Chain A
């Protein structure tokens, strides 16, 4: 089945550690996104990528890093510089820009807890 796979589903981290969240899609979508979800704040964009080997910062990129070496993969690293990393992280993809802009397909999320 086509879709987006995020792993791990749950992750615990000690303060000062970097962690990497995996996101893989087999929808052949060009664009991929990382959102952070906190209660009462909606979804906030961390990073996005429109094409392989290129990505842009979203609204809350500080303390995060990404790479896009393959079309189907867009991993997110939460670094120790992120002040408040405990959150639900959502990866999404879309076919790209144009008339279908906005039709995002989301993974099931990764819940990160800092101990």
Chain B
């Protein structure tokens, strides 16, 4: 019940295209859903996050869509750029979980020029 399942494992997109990464969870107590971006040899960095009181959050070219009834959330990267090539992790947690994040398996995105 603590798992977060992420797909696809890898993704190749042409420059200018839309990248979509999906995550699903079981624990209905989760109330915070961040996405992290990791470049090779670096630590992950927070990209964007959402709470279940909204269905969508947009920051620049990055959008999180959240479907509470389906227990799914997804990251959309519009107008994908080669500089977006990285590994993306979804995660989930709940208040009172002592800050522990449960991470998805990760998606390696390659944006071809």
Binding site for B on A (CB under 8 A): 4, 6, 31, 33, 35, 40-45, 48, 50, 56, 58, 90, 92, 94, 96-99, 101-109
Contacts and interface: CB of A to CB of B under 8 A. Distances in A.
Given A97-B95, A101-B32, A103-B34, A45 B43 contact: no
B105 A41 contact: yes
B98 A48 contact: yes
B41 interface: yes
A42 B97 contact: no
B42 A43 contact: no
B contacts with A: majority SS: loop
Interface of B: 6, 9, 32, 34, 36, 41-46, 49, 89, 91, 93-101, 103-106
Contacts of B42: 108-109
Contact of A45 (B6, B34, B44, B100): B100
B58 to A, nearest CB: 19
Given A42-B89, A43-B103, A101-B32, A50 B98 contact: yes
Contact of B43 (A56, A99, A101, A107): A107
Contact of A50 (B32, B41, B99, B105): B99
